[in-house]
Structure 1
Amino acid sequence: MTVALMWEARAAEGRAAELLAWVREQRLDGERAPLRRETFAASGDRVLVITWWDAPLDADVPELPDPSPELAARPVHRWRFESLGAG
């Protein structure tokens, strides 16, 4: 089974580049590594990170932390999705 974790934050005013750099520096500590990790940027100074894991939906897998309050305009949003396969 594959679970995808989505982590999304909106940068504080004028701090989008800093938030993106901070996200790229973050390591997922733990015994297992993700199958894949991608980082995205969007309008509104938003940064999205998706990690894919070989694990069930409710598995205890490492997640990205919250950035400092100075970097984020609001609390981080997190979601988990279970892969249903291609197509």
Structure 2
Amino acid sequence: MTVALMWEARAVAGKGEELLTWATHQPLDPPPLRRETFRAPEDRVLVITWWEGTYDTEGLPELPEPGEDLVRRAVHRWRFETVADGV
């Protein structure tokens, strides 16, 4: 089974690129099966990582909170587990 961890943050006005750079350079140990980083309007950054495990698997590495100088609010985090593969 696979679990996906989602991490979403909104940058302080004008710091979207800095937050994006910060998020893409955060190491995870061990590395995930897959990692994707997205950006959206209003300086939002989303990182999704995929791991072997279930929704309740403990100890999976997650991106930390960025410094208060980079984000407008606390990071939002969600977990999802695979229920079906493919389309």
Does the pair score TM above 0.5? yes
User: Aligned ranges for residues 12-31 of structure 1 at < 5 Å?
Assistant: 12-29=12-29
Long gaps (5+) in structure 1: none
Distance (whole Å) between structure 2 residues aligned to residue 17 and residue 34 of structure 1: 23
> Is 1:43 matched up with 2:41?
yes
What SS class does the counterpart of residue 19 from structure 2 fall into?
helix
AA aligned opposite 1:43: P
Distance (whole Å) between structure 1 residues aligned to residue 45 and residue 18 of structure 2: 11
Other-structure match for 1:5? 5
TM (norm. structure 1) is 0.93
Other-structure match for 2:56? 58
Distance (whole Å) between structure 2 residues aligned to residue 24 and residue 84 of structure 1: 28
Long gaps (5+) in structure 2: none
Distance (whole Å) between structure 2 residues aligned to residue 51 and residue 10 of structure 1: 18
User: Aligned ranges for residues 58-77 of structure 1 at < 5 Å?
Assistant: 58-60=56-58, 61-77=60-76
AA aligned opposite 1:25: H
What SS class does the counterpart of residue 21 from structure 2 fall into?
helix
Q: Deviations over 1:18-49 (max 9, x none)?
A: 000000110012xx321100000011110000
Percent identity among equivalent residues? 60
Count of matched residue positions in the alignment of Structure 1 and Structure 2: 85
Runs of 4+ with deviation above 3 angstroms: none
